[in-house]
Structure 1
Amino acid sequence: MKKIIGIAAILALAGCASSGASQAGFPDVAKAYPAGGTYVNLDDLRQYSEGMSKDQLYRLLGTPHFSEGMWGVRQWNYVFNLRPSLGAAPLTCQFQVHFDAAGMATGHAWQPTSCGALLQPPPAAPSPPPPAPVSKAPLRLSADALFAFDSAELSSGGHQSLDSALAGKLDDVRELKVVGYTDRIGSAEYNLNLSRQRAEAVRQYLIGRGVASGSIQAEGRGMAEPIVQCDQRQRQALVACLAPNRRVEISGIAES
């Protein structure tokens, strides 16, 4: 009886040696076929899940690399070379699938265990930033068409000019800025004050058209930012030449 037990023990040890299994339960990588393992697409590998059949795994991952066979086998072993990212050096990873008696996958293991982290889906691409508000080109209106000479009160013609210029242009605007300008005739202080009053007059017009008062800014810049430069000596000719500088500009930011 002792002799029989001894023979059985020797056979058991021989079986362990022939399987090439390591102490951790994984076979020796050197015994894999094809030698060195294979390269596998990470997206394919991510499709593995418990409950898959051997036939499904075979179609997904191919033949196991240690000649385990199909029937009556409770585990399959693979050696995969996985790249953590495009262009990175591959990592050699052992992948082991466990099966139940019906040949359905019940679990898996990695060697080294850090290889399992490679199956985590890549981080989602950040959402694109919202489009920047679209600044509309300023609407430039002649002050001479809006106001009488040396006046900050909108004329009847000025109301008509604004009605015509702004028709259909206020529906998609969430912010408005009104800037008044004068020519260089007169003192800087006087012109600055006149430009402010004219900008405010247009602001009040816009409020009357239904634009929220809090969304309209008005400012005057006096004789700053001239469009034309004139050197006429005769006053009437100079006033006519400087007309483009006497203006009101309305700029807006469209709804995103």
Structure 2
Amino acid sequence: MKKTAIAVAISGLFMVAGAQAAPQDNTWYAGGKLGWSNFQVSKDDVSSTLNTYDVTRHDDVGGGVYGGYQFNNWFGIEAGYDYLGKMDFDSSAGAGDLQSQGLQLAAKLSYNLGAADIYGKVGGFGYHTKSLGESDDGVAPLLAFGTEYAINRDWAARFEYQWVSKIGDKEDLGFEPDNGLLSVGVNYRFGQQAPAVAPAPAPEPAPAPAPVTVTKEFSLSSDVLFDFNKATLKPAGVEALDGLYGQIKAETPKDGSALVIGYTDRIGSDQYNQALSEKRAKTVADYLVGKGIPADKISTQGRGEADPVTGTQCDGVKGKKKLISCLAPDRRVTIQVTGVKEVTE
């Protein structure tokens, strides 16, 4: 068989889609197949009186019937009759053909992929071959691979490539070809039972909603809390933090924690602004600890002039005082409170 035909056979195995292919255990089945039979002849397969160029037709229609017993979903035994067709040739002995048929017996090994079974067969082929009035009987090795899927509970289809090596006796018949049979088939599975349907279980009560993690963020202007360029709380800042503490306490998340983050504007060096933002965050955190937040539940970060909220809107502002006023939204302290809250229906 040509390489392209073998490629078609292999690709066909993976183009099958269908129901669960594996039959039930201890199942008898029987079926038939039809396809393309191809005789391959090499120099070693031909007697000295003939020539490989004498072959005028390699291909014919082949087919057969088969039956088997599936012991379980991976192992079975299969037997059958195959008609492999004719190979025509023209030689000094006269025009003729080599006709082959026979009985096969093979072990069948399957692997289930859910949508299909891929299987292989290995066994023997007891052939009867005729050519130019001569006949020959013998046994040749047989290999096959294929795929099978269920059309419904009782019927299954298969796609198979079968190889039989050295059919006939080249001294008696002139030829000793190999044969490849690419076929499609359908088989009936006896005694398949409908799967038992288990009673539907009683519905379970709906589970309680799972708790969810929540994060609440509070933000205060640094100009309310501190004087410009300072990290000491102003009286107005103390009042603002007292009100903020009341809001945090009202949240009361389970296993809650707080993160205090300080920000500055872009005026000044990066290093100076980073240090100032860290001091302001620590000042706010220390005050909240003094109000009642556990010290091990609060942490601080300074982010300096990162993440400005003004963007580029102050880029054209002239004069330091005007620039300080324009950049006021960037100078801020945020407090992120994270914890677990129970969900009520």
Higher strand share: 2
Query: 2-side partners of 1:169 and 1:177: how far apart?
Result: 12
Cα deviation for residue 246 of structure 1 reads: 0.3
How far apart are the structure 2 equivalents of 1:236 and 1:168?
34
- The alpha carbon displacement at 1:121 in A equals 2.9
Separation in 2, partners of 1:179, 1:169: 15
1:148-227 alignment to 2 at 5 Å? Answer: 148-171=227-250, 172-173=252-253, 174-227=256-309
Secondary structure of the corresponding residue to residue 150 of structure 1: coil
Q: Distance in 2 between matches of 1:154 and 1:233?
A: 29
Name the SS for the 1:158 alignment partner.
Answer: helix
Find the counterpart in structure 2 of residue 131 from structure 1.
211
The residue type equivalent to 1:152 in the other structure is: A
After superposition, where does 1:44-123 map in structure 2 within 5 Å? 115=196, 118-119=198-199, 121=201
In the alignment, residue 176 of structure 1 is paired with which amino acid?
A
State the shift of 1:223 in Å.
0.3
Runs of 4+ with deviation above 4 angstroms: 122-129
Count of residue pairs brought into register by the alignment: 146
Find out whether 1:248 has 2:333 as its counterpart: yes
Between the aligned partners of 2:202 and 2:209, the Cα distance in structure 1 is 20
Counterpart of 1:250 in 2: which secondary structure? strand
Please tell me the root mean square deviation across aligned C-alpha atoms, in Å: 3.0
Contact 2:221–2:333 (CA under 8 A) maintained in structure 1: yes
Q: Give matches, 1:12-51, under 5 Å.
A: none
Match of 1:239 among 324, 328, 334: 324
Q: Between Structure 1 and Structure 2, which shows a larger proportion of helix residues?
A: 1
Q: Percent identity?
A: 38
Q: 1:55-98: per-residue Cα shift (whole Å, max 9, x none)?
A: xxxxxxxxxxxxxxxxxxxxxxxxxxxxxxxxxxxx9xxxxxxx
Question: Using a 3 Å threshold, how does the CA distance of structure 1 residues 141 and 245 change in structure 2: closer, same or farther?
Answer: same
Deviations 1:212-245 (A, max 9, x none): 1111121010001101031212111000000000
TM-score, length basis structure 1: 0.50
* Counterpart AA for 1:206: L
Q: Helix, strand or coil: the match of 1:224?
A: coil
CA contact (8 A) 2:211 2:340 kept: no
Q: Please state if 1:143 is matched with 2:143.
A: no
Q: Match of 1:139, SS?
A: strand
Residue identity opposite 1:142 in structure 2: S
208-217 vs 219-228, which deviates more?
208-217
> 1:122, CA displacement in angstroms?
6.4
Q: Give the letter for the 2:239 counterpart.
A: Q
Note the C-alpha offset of 1:186.
0.2
Whichever residue aligns with residue 151 of structure 1, its letter is K
Deviations 1:8-37 (A, max 9, x none): xxxxxxxxxxxxxxxxxxxxxxxxxxxxxx
Q: Distance in 1 between matches of 2:221 and 2:196?
A: 72
Structure 2 residues without counterparts, runs of 5 or longer: 1-152, 154-192
